[in-house]
Structure formats: C-alpha cells, structure tokens
C-alpha cells in the first residue's frame, strides 16, 4: 500500500521505538480525567478548535475534565501560561458534544484530528467521532481505566520501548519512561517572588547572582542523582531564543534590580541579561554532568504565540561556544525547517529531533525526512517523539510516524538513492538507536 516496500514496512513495524519526548500524565492520575470524549482534547486539537473560531472559554467548558488537568500541568511545570476560565461547569455530555460539533467538523481535516480518530478507532473501537458515536466513545474511554492500560497502549499497541518524559518529576515508572527535567525557573527570573520560589526549591538562600547560579547547580545535581537523563528548556514560549553572551557584571546589575524590587519586578528587557547569563550557566552545568539539552524550537502549542521567538538560528552563538554540549533541537524547528536542518548539518553538537512534527503534518514530516536523509548524518536524526499528555495520542502519533518513515525510505529505495538493507538500518537508527545513544539509555536488546 502507498508505495511502501514490504520489507521496509514490516521491518519498521517490528522496531521497538525510543520516544524522545512525552508529557504523559501519571497513570495514577488518569482515572480522574479519562472519563469521556474530552480526554482526547487535552491539547493540540483543542488549539485547532480555537483557531477554527471556538471561544477559548467554551472550549474549556467542553473539555472540563481536561481543563482541570491543564491547570494541574501548568502548576506542576510552573509555567507562565494562561488557562482561560470555562464558560460554564454544568454542561451535560450532550450539551458539550453539541457545542463542540460544528468546530470538530471544521477541524476534521487537520492532522491533529486525524490522530484523534486513529486513537478512537484503534484503542477504543469507535470508527468515527460524530453525533452517533460520542456516547459510545465516552463509555469506552471511561471503561479503559484498568490496571496496566499504559503498558498495553505503549508496549503492545505503540511498541514504544521507552519514552523520555518531560513532566518535571523523576518519580516515574522506569520500565516505560526516562525523565528529563527543566531548569527554566532558574533562567526566567523576573521578581523577588521568583527568587523566593527558587530558594525553597534549592534549600539555599539567594542573595547574589553567584548564589543563584549555585542554587541552580544544586538542583541540577539533585535531579541527576534521581536519574534525570537530560535537561529540557521550553522558554521559546515566553521569550526569544537569543541568549546573548553577557558579562557577570551586566547579569549582576539585572539580578540586583530584581532582588531589590519589592513590587512587580522589572520588565523582561531589564531582566534579559540575567536570563541570558543563567542559560549559559545551565549549559555549562549540563556539560559537567554530561546531560543533553532538549530545546524547544519552532511552533508553540496553543494559540496566539509569537513564532518569531522560537527561530532556532537564534541559538547559533550557543552552538559555537559550547562544543562539548549536546543540543537536541525539537520539532523540526517548524516552520523554520530548512534553517533547523542546516544547523544539524553544520554543527557536530546539534541533533535533529522530529518530535511532534509527524503529528503537526505528516506531509511536512515526509518532506523534512527526505531532506534530512540527504543532508544530515544518519547518527543525528531522531524521527519520533510523541509529545502528548495521553498515551492514546502518542500511540496514534507513533502509527503516523511509522507510516511517514516507511514511505520516505521506500521512496529513497525506489529512487535508487539507497539499498533496502541500508534503508532498514537507517530506520533502526532514527527510530531507536540514535535517541538511546544520545540519552545513554540501556535497552533490552
């Protein structure tokens, strides 16, 4: 089917994936949220609904259980992210479906909606999501709250061997996940309140710039002891990726401005030298601990974000300065895909991570993978990161990714670019061996 060479398709089906990036909710918490169809609207397709014209507060009312999860997620990761209030909290399942229906019909064409349908069909046995099926899908989701659901979906259905989890906790099921942690709190410092929070977190008084850097190091050491396999930074949601080289003095002036401010804190522009300085400190610490750094570049989840903040070329000074660091650049830098690919081609310390891309657009994923295969060494390409808060969407994404990789490698063989053997070996690297090696994950086989 679809021009996929059989040997390649079946080899890729058999590969047990190493998933570079997930936000999976803890299985122990899932019982509170997997109660009806709204469970499949935790993110991504919800942003398309808003893009289609649904009011954010109505969308939150329609997905009320996941609205509550969203609040908890934002709190756990200490994100400066606004979650709108639900318009109402008393809508029946039928009312919620009726409110959703026109917007669901509007977004049916997007890849986010396709992933939703794949999950509904393959995991809950419901062929479509519409007026006739929303009740059935809701019951199937509620009934899935059984023991070992994660193991079933991740291992048996998605065939994910291990997933790197970005949930700001190291207390995770290590047979399914390997944790990364964020130190963004130590970079995005803007107020006295932020400093107090960091004092609690590090158990260290912070009276100077050096104290702040020391507190960050203490926390990173603690995370590393607890088994974190990398550091994740997602600051492109709230600021530019341009982390200038600033002197200790400049950073200290900014620190002092923040520390002496008793009210609202200085503006971002005043705080920026401190933030830039701290990012450099985080990278140095990551080098000392031999931890890779996962960097969000490109598209931000949600609506009304500033895409120009997340251009990966803004990071070039860091790649030049920190040769010993390992930079895992996320999301194909979408839509800055060519610039992003060029960075992975140019710099030995830059890795091309396609996490999220095949869910945003499988067509973009195919084009980009074609381009990467022709431009970037095969030991630095990573083709799958589910990037989901639910295992169900991660499953759908894994399925979409296997199709993308099978199609592209089959094309490459048909074009005479590589042999079938070579294609299968490359598939194994980009779906499994490369991320395992970057994050030093011991695998079963």
User: Rounded to the nearest whole angstrom, what is the least distance from the CB of residue 166 to Zn ion in the complex?
Assistant: 6
Local structure of 287: helix, strand or coil: helix
Least spacing, CB of residue 117 vs Zn ion, in Å? 22
Q: Which is nearer to Zn ion, 163 or 413 (CB)?
A: 163
CA distance linking residue 318 with residue 314, whole number of Å: 9
CA 253 to chain CA centroid, Å, is 34
Choose among 444, 437, 336: nearest CA to 379.
437
Which single residue brings its beta carbon nearest to Zn ion?
387
Residue nearer to Zn ion on the CB measure, 80 or 207: 80
**Residue written as token pair 């990761």:** 77
For Zn ion, which is the closer residue by CB, 24 or 406?
24
By C-beta, is 24 or 110 nearer to Zn ion? Answer: 24
381-382 and 17-22 beta bridge pairing: unpaired
Cα 268 to Cα 270: distance, rounded to the nearest angstrom: 5
Which tokens in the block code for residue 94?
Answer: 């039928």
Shortest gap between Cβ of 331 and Zn ion (angstroms)?
Answer: 8
Residue 270 has phi, psi (to 5 degrees) of -75, -35
Residues engaged in binding Zn ion (CB under 5 A): 387
Q: How far is the CB of 355 from Zn ion (least distance, A)?
A: 7
Residues 6+ apart with CB under 8 A from 354: 331, 332, 365, 368, 369, 372, 381, 382, 383, 384, 385, 401
Q: Name the residue nearer to Zn ion (CB basis): 126 or 438.
A: 438
**Cβ atoms within 10 A of the Cβ of 321, count?**
13
Which of residues 161 and 301 has its CB atom nearest to Zn ion in the complex? 301
C-alpha R_g of the chain: 22
Strand stretches in 240-389, DSSP E: 293-295, 327-329, 350-353, 381-382
Report how far Cα 121 is from the mean position of its chain's Cα atoms. Answer: 24
CB of 293 to Zn ion, least distance (A): 14
CB of 232 vs Zn ion, minimal distance in Å:
8
Q: Which residues contact 11 (CB under 8 A, 6 or more apart)?
A: 424, 427, 428
**Minimal distance, residue 156 CB to Zn ion, in Å:** 24
* CB of 100 or CB of 391, closer to Zn ion: 391
CB 23 to Zn ion: min, Å: 6
Identity of the residue, 22 or 161, whose beta carbon is nearer to Zn ion in the bound complex: 22
């Amino acid at each position: 089917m679809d021009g996929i060479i059989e040997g390649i398709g079946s080899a890729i089906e058999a590969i047990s994936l190493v998933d570079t990036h997930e936000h999976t909710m803890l299985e122990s918490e899932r019982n509170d949220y997997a109660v009806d169809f709204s469970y499949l609207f935790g993110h991504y397709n919800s942003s398309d609904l808003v893009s289609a014209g649904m009011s954010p507060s109505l969308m939150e009312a329609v997905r009320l259980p996941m609205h509550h999860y969203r609040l908890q997620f934002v709190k756990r990761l200490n994100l400066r992210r606004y979650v709108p209030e639900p318009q109402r909290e008393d809508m029946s399942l039928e009312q919620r479906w009726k409110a959703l229906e026109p917007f669901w019909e509007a977004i049916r064409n997007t890849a986010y909606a396709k992933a939703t349908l794949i999950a509904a069909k393959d995991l809950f046995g419901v062929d479509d999501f519409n007026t006739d099926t929303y009740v059935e899908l809701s019951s199937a989701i509620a009934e899935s709250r059984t023991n070992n659901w994660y193991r079933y979906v991740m291992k048996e259905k998605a065939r994910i061997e291990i997933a790197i989890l970005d949930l700001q906790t190291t207390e995770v099921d290590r047979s399914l996940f390997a944790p990364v942690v964020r130190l963004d709190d130590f970079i995005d410092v803007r107020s006295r309140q932020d400093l107090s929070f960091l004092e609690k977190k590090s158990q260290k008084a912070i009276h100077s710039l050096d104290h702040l850097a020391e507190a960050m190091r203490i926390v990173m050491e603690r995370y590393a002891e607890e088994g974190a396999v990398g550091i994740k930074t997602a600051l492109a949601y709230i600021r530019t990726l341009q982390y200038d080289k600033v002197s200790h003095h400049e950073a200290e002036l900014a620190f002092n401005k923040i520390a002496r401010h008793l009210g609202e804190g200085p503006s971002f522009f005043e705080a920026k030298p401190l933030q830039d300085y701290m990012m450099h400190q985080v990278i140095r610490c990551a080098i000392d601990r031999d931890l890779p750094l996962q960097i969000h570049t490109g598209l931000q989840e949600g609506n009304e974000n500033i895409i120009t903040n997340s251009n990966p070329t803004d990071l070039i000074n860091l790649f030049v300065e920190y040769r010993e660091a390992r930079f895992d650049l996320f999301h194909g830098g979408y839509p800055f895909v060519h610039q992003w690919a060029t960075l992975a081609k140019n710099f030995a310390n830059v890795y091309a991570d396609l996490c999220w891309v095949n869910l945003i657009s499988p067509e973009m994923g195919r084009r980009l993978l074609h381009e990467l295969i022709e431009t970037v060494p095969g030991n630095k390409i990573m083709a799958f990161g589910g990037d989901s808060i639910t295992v169900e969407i991660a499953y759908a994404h894994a399925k979409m990714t296997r199709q993308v990789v099978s199609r592209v490698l089959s094309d490459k063989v048909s074009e005479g670019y590589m042999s079938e053997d070579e294609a299968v070996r490359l598939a194994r690297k980009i779906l499994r061996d490369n991320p395992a090696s970057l994050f030093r994950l011991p695998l079963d086989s």
